[in-house]
Amino acid sequence: MPEKKKTPLKGVLPSKKQSRSNQTTGDHVTLHETTFNGTGTSRGIAIGECYAYEKEQYEHEITSIDNDNIEAEISRFIEAVHRSEKELKKIERVTTRKLGKGYANIFQAQIMMLQDPVLIDTISLRIRSEMIPAHLVIEEEFGNYHEKYKSSDDVVFQERADDFFDIKNRILRNLHVRKMLSWIPEGTIVVSDHFCPGDIILLSRSNVKGFLSDSGGKTSHISLICKSLNIPMVAGLGNFSQNAVSGTKMIIDGSSGTVIIHPEEKTIHLYQEKQEAERQSNADASRTATLPACTKCGVRINFFSNIDFKEELQGLNETGSEGVGLFRSENLFIDGTKVPGESEQYHYYKEMSETVAPQPFVVRLFDIGGDKLIYSPIREPNPNLGWRGIRILIDVPEILENQLRAVIRANALGNIHILIPMITSLDEILTICSIVDRLHGEIIEQTGIAG
């Protein structure tokens, strides 16, 4: 029987207690095929060797500092922050080059956190007033933020908690003047208890075959990045990484969430066939993608793409897409720090509209609320059914009208349409139509140009 999610990794270390499927004869241990189930978060099959990615641990014996060393300790902390900021800017550049500005905003948000004078001053003040070393204050301050965000009812805040975890570890490493690990053996499947977005970006340069994580889910930043990089990933494996040993043969299926260690030859052959079938299917789809889509009886069907970022427009022609049927505009604030202004949105929509033209480009108005609410003082038993989507936008007209003005101004080519999220009544549609008409008139009056 397959072992279930959150089962410890058995049958990897000979010194560990072996699973019942393993047989020990003298000093020789026979390691049998064992299956684990997690959550598939990025599709694809990977067959290769494990690389156990262990975060560096630091031992701190000093718990206090004398008055003569206070300023030196603060300088040491500030220097660690500067080195961390420099690293994140490098990761941001790599991400922009590989995936575009949308994903790079994840790291821009972390850079902004490092540049927050309140946080820096708070830590510096505590070092000076309490005469305790920087590492203790960093652990406590970032730990408090991490716990506060992690315990939030809002999924967006929960996922932002990982940023504080990442920044804390980055500063602590730089406090010890250690270099970040960015290269590993080529073609491995990387296993860790926790990945940060920066880990995925940098380690992917080593032609990683896949990622396995004890934590995480389908909507986490690391999963979204893996999808965009076409790297299989399985998350939610409990304490899988605790006994992971580099060099262990394994198979992962990012669609089903299946992980197999010590696979038998017949299992390897089976998954190699699945890999080949998947490659062949993708190749066949590429060859026929640009042909008109019709049913067997000759009825023409239009296919449109659903996208999250403008960088995805680059592959539109290859897939045979006839336009954008859904642009999830809420991803414009994936960094979770602020709602983009009218000017920023205008340039974004304009560029996308021009790229897609003359085909249609459908912008879904910000679908915030439920699991995608940046900030809300209201907590509901089931936010997915209550205050979300169009109801939030109507209640917060500044956000709604900025977006609508940006869309209207960007629609010079006439191919932009809007999609209203989470409608529950005709009145909501009529309200939006009325606002659009009013804003359209105002823009014509101000500019003399009709969008």
Q: Is there a single domain that holds both residue 241 and residue 330? A: no
Q: pLDDT digits over 347-362, tens only?
A: 999 999 999 999 999 9
Max CA-CA distance within the chain? 89
Q: Would residue 295 count as lying in a domain?
A: no
- The pLDDT score that the predictor gives to residue 31 is 76
User: Is the confidence at residue 91, as pLDDT, over 70?
Assistant: yes
Tally of CB atoms within 10 A around 286: 12
Q: Would residue 281 count as lying in a domain?
A: no
Q: Is there a single domain that holds both residue 244 and residue 169? A: no
Cα separation of 320 and 327, whole Å? Answer: 17
Q: Is there a single domain that holds both residue 74 and residue 211? A: no
Q: Is there a single domain that holds both residue 44 and residue 160? A: no
Q: Is the dihedral of CA 113, 118, 124, 129 positive or negative?
A: negative
Domain boundary among 175, 201, 218: 175
Cα separation of 248 and 267, whole Å? Answer: 15
Range of the domain at 249: 23-53+182-276
- The pLDDT score that the predictor gives to residue 189 is 97
- The pLDDT score that the predictor gives to residue 123 is 95
Q: Would residue 312 count as lying in a domain?
A: yes
Calculate the alpha carbon distances from 203 to 119, 199, 408, 444 in Å. 29, 6, 42, 50
Q: Is there a single domain that holds both residue 36 and residue 84? A: no
User: Is the confidence at residue 288, as pLDDT, over 90?
Assistant: no
Q: Is there a single domain that holds both residue 233 and residue 111? A: no
Q: pLDDT digits over 223-270, tens only?
A: 889 998 899 999 999 999 988 999 999 999 999 999 999 999 999 999
pLDDT higher for 9 or 448?
448
The top-scoring range by mean pLDDT among 100-114, 246-260, 327-341 is 246-260
Q: pLDDT digits over 391-430, tens only?
A: 889 998 999 999 999 999 999 999 999 999 988 899 999 9
Q: pLDDT digits over 119-167, tens only?
A: 899 999 999 999 999 999 999 999 898 888 888 776 667 767 778 888 9
**SS3 label, residue 65:** coil
Mean pLDDT of all residues in 45-65? 80
Q: Would residue 409 count as lying in a domain?
A: yes
Cα separation of 329 and 352, whole Å? Answer: 12
Q: Is there a single domain that holds both residue 75 and residue 48? A: no
- The pLDDT score that the predictor gives to residue 59 is 61
Domain boundary among 257, 276, 295: 276
Q: Is there a single domain that holds both residue 225 and residue 158? A: no
- The pLDDT score that the predictor gives to residue 25 is 38
Q: Would residue 429 count as lying in a domain?
A: yes
102 and 309 Cβ atoms separated by less than 8 Å: yes
310 and 332 Cβ atoms separated by less than 8 Å: no
Q: Is there a single domain that holds both residue 443 and residue 319? A: yes
- The pLDDT score that the predictor gives to residue 243 is 86
CATH number for the domain including 316? 3.20.20.60
pLDDT higher for 447 or 21?
447
Domain boundary among 126, 157, 175: 175
350 and 410 Cβ atoms separated by less than 8 Å: yes
Q: Is there a single domain that holds both residue 313 and residue 418? A: yes
CATH number for the domain including 77? 1.10.274.10
CATH number for the domain including 269? 3.50.30.10
DSSP codes joined into one string, 334-403: TTSS----HHHHHHHHHHHHHHHTTS-EEEEP---STT--S--S---S-TTTSS-THHHHHHSHHHHHHH
**SS3 label, residue 316:** helix
User: Is the confidence at residue 336, as pLDDT, over 70?
Assistant: no
Q: Is there a single domain that holds both residue 42 and residue 72? A: no
- The pLDDT score that the predictor gives to residue 202 is 86
Q: Would residue 59 count as lying in a domain?
A: no
Q: Is there a single domain that holds both residue 333 and residue 251? A: no
Q: Would residue 293 count as lying in a domain?
A: no
Q: Would residue 224 count as lying in a domain?
A: yes
What is the total count of domains within the chain? 3
- The pLDDT score that the predictor gives to residue 32 is 87
Amino acid at the residue 189: I
